Amino acid sequence: MIGRGFEWRRFVRTWQAVLAVWLAYAVVRIAIQPLLGWEPVDPDDWTRLLQVRAWLDGQAFWDVTQYRMNPPEGFSMHWSRLVDLPLAALMLLFGERAALVLVPLLWLLPALFALRAIMLRLDFPPLALACGLLIMPLFPMVPGNFAPMRIDHHAPQAVLALVCVALLIRDSRWSAVACGLCAAAWVVISLEGLPLVAVIAGLYGVRYWFGERTLLPWFLGSLAIAATALAYGTRGPLDTAYCDVLLPGHLLTFAAAALIAAIIPFLPWQDRVQGRLLALGAMGLVCLQLASALLGPCATNPMAELDPMLQEWWHGMIAEGLPIWEQSPSVALSLVWTIGLIVVGWWRAHCRGLFHQGRALPCTLLFLFALAAGGYSLLVMREGVVAQLLAIPFAALLMAEFLPKARAIASPVPRIVATLAAVGLTTPLFASALVAPLDDYVSRDGVPPDAEDFTQRWGCNYGALADLPPGLVMAPFDGALEILGKTDHTIMAASYHRNQRPMVDLLLAMTGSVDEAEAIVREYGIDYVVICGSASDVAFYRTASPNNFANALVSGEPPEWLEPALTPSNSSLRVYRVER
């Protein structure tokens, strides 16, 4: 038994343990995938697939316009080719389905290695290390982003954030350079990561403030150079008409920050804490002023100029982008529980002296960044993926502390209860599941509870439209991308904010009168009008007015200028052909 225990404790610290955990997770996910289906999960996954297909079919690398949306102009997109690269490579090597299965699972591998690196750097005991590698499925926002067919950009962002932290808590210049490179890739993929990248820069500043190694210039220099190379290399000449991607103003601010950070150590009074704090504060003020001057309106929320119609009927209904007070009880509790695990885990580790002897600063840096990510998730729910990944080490410490105590209880029933409590209280899954029944009493995904009465229990197979001659389709946002993915049709609009006019017109048609809808249909030259009565966005459109266009379509009594083109049996899908 002693020998086995010793071997187990040695094995859990090796890279082979990471591979074993990843392989077990991958096998289970692939085994259950036939029950879940072999199609992309949501509209963003469909769009990512369409983007890679278009590239492989000959569309220019720098051109990510979706020309099958609102043809012939197409839809301008802000997405990065960085996320397309692994998908395209595996599609060429193994085919489309294999790529859709493997790419999300492969993103999990560097996440697990980063978790291992964090826990080894903080010298976790073997049981805590094992828990940290195994408990990821108990964090409700994490597993779905690494599941087969989930190919949007959220997993790469979360992985890059986690790798940045693993590098941040190390002490070498090369780790700072690598951290800057990962941070650059992160903000090139999505500008939403910029606040947390700023936090990383601030934490490198904290290291300098407390007299640690001068790593801030190396991080900022790498960030400035890599962000410039990746931005121009994956997008070509930067389009300054939009605020949703890295702009020359961002890049110049990064460069200025790197230059100032390199000069600071040579300024007077840098041998004193007060002098270092004054220099860092002045640097922050200068960079903020520079960013404001260079970026203008783009220095604030890129969604600030969103059309009110889109804000009310689209953007304000996307749960993943909303703050905690707009979330269902189960999601809200999951976010709060995650922050609680970070705080309690750090406090317990501090009280037990686990992070003394040179590990106090790395643990504090991890704690502060995890706390920042948790706070960010209260404003933008999807940032909870990053927060929950960063909470795993703290949860692992708590579980490793309480689980042995629970297992040491002699009586079977108390031992079982204590064991379940040790697992349930140190992860957010069970608390979130406990309050999930309350979700039925509040809005879901922006749909008021009374709108749920309109929905039906069966879904819609948009692939049936492939039997119709190709044409321009008007369909609500949630189903439009699947139509593109499964057929040769084009669509009027999809939910991508740069293209506000066709999006607004689609919403005006669906929520307005039949006569207003006809005018829009004629203006765009629509061939087919498609609606899925069981879709949540359709249910929401129907609440606008009892006699609006969406209600007329779902009722099966369309206006005279529409004729049924396809009516699948046992489905709420309605397909109408526009009479000329």
Residues 470, 382, single domain; the answer is no
Residues 254, 188, single domain; the answer is yes
- Residues 336-345 pLDDT 10s: 999 999 999 9
3-state SS, one letter per residue, for 361-394 = HHHHHHHHHHHHHHHHHHHCHHHHHHHHHHHHHH
How far apart CA 187 and CA 540 sit, in angstroms, is: 33
Please identify, among 376, 399, 422, the residue that sits at the C-terminal boundary of a domain. Answer: 399
- Residues 441-459 pLDDT 10s: 775 444 444 444 444 445 6
pLDDT at position 559 over 60: yes
Give me the pLDDT at residue 6, please.
52
Residues 257, 393, single domain; the answer is yes
Give me the pLDDT at residue 92, please.
96
Q: Is residue 59 part of a domain?
A: no
pLDDT at position 9 over 50: yes
- Average pLDDT of 386-403? 95
Q: Is residue 69 part of a domain?
A: no
| Higher per-residue confidence, 199 vs 497 | 199
Q: Is residue 123 part of a domain?
A: yes
Please identify, among 337, 369, 399, the residue that sits at the C-terminal boundary of a domain. Answer: 399
Question: What band does 2 get if pLDDT is binned at 50, 70 and 90?
Answer: very low
Q: To the nearest whole percent, how much of the chain has pLDDT over 90?
A: 66
Name the residue among 63, 57, 53 with its Cα closest to residue 236. Answer: 63
Residues 147, 292, single domain; the answer is yes
CA angle 507, 511, 515 (to 5 degrees): 100
CATH number at 500 reads 3.40.50
- Residues 144-188 pLDDT 10s: 999 999 999 999 999 999 999 999 999 889 999 999 999 999 999
Question: What band does 396 get if pLDDT is binned at 50, 70 and 90?
Answer: very high
Helix (H), strand (E) at residue 153: none
Residues 156, 220, single domain; the answer is yes
Residues 358, 289, single domain; the answer is yes
Strands across the sheet containing 490-491: 490-491, 472-474, 528-532, 573-578, 562-566
Q: Is residue 55 part of a domain?
A: no
Query: Following CA atoms 71, 73, 74, 77 in sequence, which dihedral angle do they give, to the nearest 10 degrees?
Result: -170
Q: Is residue 429 part of a domain?
A: no
Q: Is residue 299 part of a domain?
A: yes
Name the residue among 191, 78, 98, 75 with its Cα closest to residue 151. Answer: 98
Domains held by the chain: number: 2
Q: Is residue 430 part of a domain?
A: no
The lowest-confidence range among 212-216, 274-278, 533-537 is: 212-216
Q: Which range of residues forms the domain containing residue 481?
A: 452-578
Q: Is residue 318 part of a domain?
A: yes
pLDDT at position 331 over 50: yes
Give me the pLDDT at residue 457, please.
41
Helix (H), strand (E) at residue 480: helix 477-486
Question: Are 220 and 261 contacting, i.e. CB atoms less than 8 angstroms apart?
Answer: yes
| Higher per-residue confidence, 272 vs 333 | 333
How far apart CA 547 and CA 334 sit, in angstroms, is: 39
Please identify, among 399, 417, 444, the residue that sits at the C-terminal boundary of a domain. Answer: 399
Mean pLDDT of the chain: 89
